[in-house]
Structure 1
């Protein structure tokens, strides 16, 4: 696993997932969030160990945490007795880290899971932390917060659907993965539009407005890159390399979209958030 990918994954494990869980407002998730370092720290250590038994054991510890999170999804669904678009997106966010963890365990053990090479497995780990967990979570939170019109519902449904189609495309072929990329990109651009709308409505809170605007702008650019890569893979047209995608699409989604979005939503949800704050 490259240094860049490892750093991005560490951000997802140690910061993005617990920060996102803290925004849902679910007491059960709050308890999992308090336990999260017990799983995430070994997972982060696994990224830097040589492939083998120790790295696999540390990755498996992280996988246990993600399974605990995924197991909460059906419990939450049973408690709500129905799932609207926002809830579907939030449930998707709870499940996707387990996909990343499965890929991590396989990659750290040196096992080509389902025939996928170790390089693809290594990139699957950040993908399902950010295009999976973070994107679905932000789509669900923005829709739930009041942007539940057609655009909000489209974002909250198309991000989970696109994520599922991309995952299916791993097994079916490049054209199926391209279809998933189209749906996911459309959903993410809808999230960008809603994020920009939110930025325009935060009054004089300059920091939150900057964070939301940056998140929206970066998301448009990074998903255009993702779409160009998927199109190139499916048609043979020139497209960015995986190394270039990790350095642009991957880093941009991690820092520009996920981190900025969650920081902004945290400021908006904070009970002492003053409408007139300027810093």
Structure 2
């Protein structure tokens, strides 16, 4: 993995995922969140080691933590009432719980130096950040936005982001056109998240720092998802499009810092003011 990709993945492992788990407001996830450094730190260290036994063992530690999150999803689904379990915001949250395990699976295979389902090491390396940010962070934020902006647009965002993520994953196996369809759905969902964040969440916020973080996350999404769509279109049609290296430096870095990090910081500030007692306890 490159230094840039490693740094982006570390941000997802050590900051975005644990901060996102806190934002879910699910008390049953508190134990996993408290134990998260035991999984994430070895995973982060594995990124910087040569491929081999040691790196694979550390990556497996991270995979164990993501498996606990993924296993929590069906448990949470079964505990919910039928109407609640199928709610768009809940669908987005369940997606956020599952997607880090996809990233971890790719990480273990890449650190072991083995291809997975026919995918080379380079694609596996990029799959790791993709499912931390276009998977976990995107689904989580879409669900949070849907809770605040409980409208047709909010429900569309909360459903289209998980659907787009799933279609992109399926597209890995079917072909470039299926991946393009997934990118189009995901882009539509993320643009909706950006618009709702700008109009509904940011507008009613008086704190200048929070407003700025929300504004940055919205603006960045508007740009980075154009890049994602142009890359998928180019892969499917053969027209000129950015290289993977360029995409990592623009789309990847922008989504990690401008969207995911700014979003979790902004939503944490919102949550701290609406639930100060819980915030002090945490």
Q: Which of the five TM-score ranges fits, normalised by the shorter chain?
A: over 0.9
RMSD of aligned residue pairs (Cα, Å): 1.0
Q: How does 1:212-251 map to 2 (within 5 A)?
A: 212-251=214-253
1:208–1:267 Cα contact (<8 Å) kept: yes
Please name the residue that 1:39 is paired with.
39
Return structure 1 stretches of 4+ with deviation > 3 angstroms: 271-274
Please name the residue that 2:208 is paired with.
206
Taking the aligned partners of 1:75 and 1:263, their CA distance within structure 2 comes to: 28
Taking the aligned partners of 1:49 and 1:41, their CA distance within structure 2 comes to: 13
Taking the aligned partners of 2:260 and 2:86, their CA distance within structure 1 comes to: 24
1:267–1:273 Cα contact (<8 Å) kept: no
Encode CA deviations 1:4-52: one digit per residue, 9 max, x unaligned: 0000000000000000000111111111100000000000000000000
Please name the residue that 1:174 is paired with.
176
SS of the residue corresponding to residue 205 of structure 2 reads coil
Q: How does 1:137-152 map to 2 (within 5 A)?
A: 137-144=140-147, 146-152=148-154
Encode CA deviations 1:252-275: one digit per residue, 9 max, x unaligned: 00000000001000011114689x
Please name the residue that 1:83 is paired with.
86
Please name the residue that 1:134 is paired with.
137
SS of the residue corresponding to residue 114 of structure 1 reads coil
Taking the aligned partners of 1:31 and 1:53, their CA distance within structure 2 comes to: 29
TM-score between the two structures when normalised by the length of structure 2 = 0.95
5+ long unaligned stretches in structure 1: 275-279
Taking the aligned partners of 1:107 and 1:28, their CA distance within structure 2 comes to: 32
| Aligned with residue 161 of structure 1, among 132, 155, 163 | 163
* Deviation of the 1:83 alpha carbon: 2.1
Please name the residue that 1:123 is paired with.
126
1:161–1:184 Cα contact (<8 Å) kept: yes
| Aligned with residue 96 of structure 2, among 93, 96, 99 | 93
Taking the aligned partners of 1:112 and 1:273, their CA distance within structure 2 comes to: 46
Taking the aligned partners of 2:53 and 2:158, their CA distance within structure 1 comes to: 39
Taking the aligned partners of 1:25 and 1:249, their CA distance within structure 2 comes to: 29
SS of the residue corresponding to residue 117 of structure 2 reads helix
Please name the residue that 1:29 is paired with.
29
Taking the aligned partners of 1:27 and 1:141, their CA distance within structure 2 comes to: 16
Structure-2 change in CA distance of 1:202 and 1:273 (3 Å)? farther
SS of the residue corresponding to residue 109 of structure 2 reads helix
Taking the aligned partners of 2:107 and 2:151, their CA distance within structure 1 comes to: 37
